[in-house]
Amino acid sequence: MKNKTPYVSIIIGYHRKKIFFKRTIQSILKQTFQNFEIIIIYDDYDLSELNFINKILKNNLNSRIIINKKNIGAGLSRNKGIYHAKGKYIAFCDADDLWHKDKLKAQINFMEQKKINFSHTSYKVINNKEKILGKFNIPNRLDYNTLLKSCDIATSSVMVKRKFLRNKYLFSSSMTKEDYFLWLKIIKKEKYLYGMRSYLLMWRSSKNSLSDSIFQKLIDAFKLYNTYEKYNSLFSLYFVIRLSFYALIKKLKIFGQF
């Protein structure tokens, strides 16, 4: 494995996720498809958790840690991982999420059969104790107008061809919505984004997560529509309101199942 070119590069941004990280890595190391490398981007000025990470990965020859000199956020950290990736495919996993053991195998087969550059999957939502709170079933295919209304793509479910991403399609530097920015950029190139209905991800809902900052989400959503997508202020405000409405509907659908 050490001398073998990895087929998949798994990029994990790490920022103070010690309580969940071991379970995340275990879910990756237990994959039925094993030809991969793990690239961890340590994004914290406090280096106290580095020893913990090294102990978990000490026997794993296909992993490496890249330490940021300063905190640069999730999007720019993933971009750094993309730059260092060697695999044909890139998969992203947040440091507190969990993968189904067949995720890589199933997703690679799906993409190669369809000959596509990008895919994502349905997912289960779990709490900090890994209790399932709900499920989200994605559509088989997304177009630009549908994605513009609501971002239903979980980053930890995404797999994309490295050659397609590198240099041209990268995450934004925003504190939130950094992934939504990229998906919209990709869909304008690809026309459609395809999804797998299988639940190959367990996405952790954490109350202390930055992604739960509603005010920051609203600011970044407006910036996304106005600055990146080039809509005027009135349309951008309308899109933010619509996005918030669909986010509420989505939560009701997920958490209303159990």
130 domain-assigned:
yes
Q: Which residues pair with 161 in a beta bridge?
A: 89
Domain span at residue 20?
8-207
- Which CATH number belongs to the domain containing residue 174 in this structure? 3.90.550.10
pLDDT tier at 212, thresholds 50, 70, 90: low
Say how many domains are in the chain: 1
Average pLDDT score, the chain: 94
87 domain-assigned:
yes
**Whole-model pTM?**
0.94
Range from 38-47, 133-142, 164-173, 206-215 carrying the lowest mean pLDDT: 206-215
**pLDDT value at position 237?**
98
107 domain-assigned:
yes
Percent share of the chain, pLDDT over 90: 88
Any alpha helices (H) in 62-213, and if so which ranges?
Answer: 74-84, 103-114, 144-149, 162-165, 178-190
Tell me the pLDDT tens digit for each residue of 144-182.
999 999 999 999 999 999 999 977 899 999 999 999 999
22 domain-assigned:
yes
225 domain-assigned:
no
Instruction: Look at residue 116 and tell me whether its pLDDT is greater than 50.
Output: yes
How many angstroms separate the CA atoms of 112 and 133, rounded?
32
Report the phi/psi class of residue 177: left, alpha or beta, with left for phi > 0 and alpha for psi in -120 to 50: left
253 domain-assigned:
no
How many angstroms separate the CA atoms of 17 and 26, rounded?
14
245 domain-assigned:
no
Alpha-carbon separation of residue 53 from 56, 89, 165 (angstroms): 5, 24, 27
pLDDT tier at 253, thresholds 50, 70, 90: confident
Tell me the pLDDT tens digit for each residue of 13-46.
999 999 999 999 999 999 999 999 999 999 999 9
Please give the angle made by the CA atoms of 57, 63 and 67, to the nearest 5 degrees: 90
258 domain-assigned:
no
Instruction: Look at residue 209 and tell me whether its pLDDT is greater than 70.
Output: no
**pLDDT value at position 200?**
98
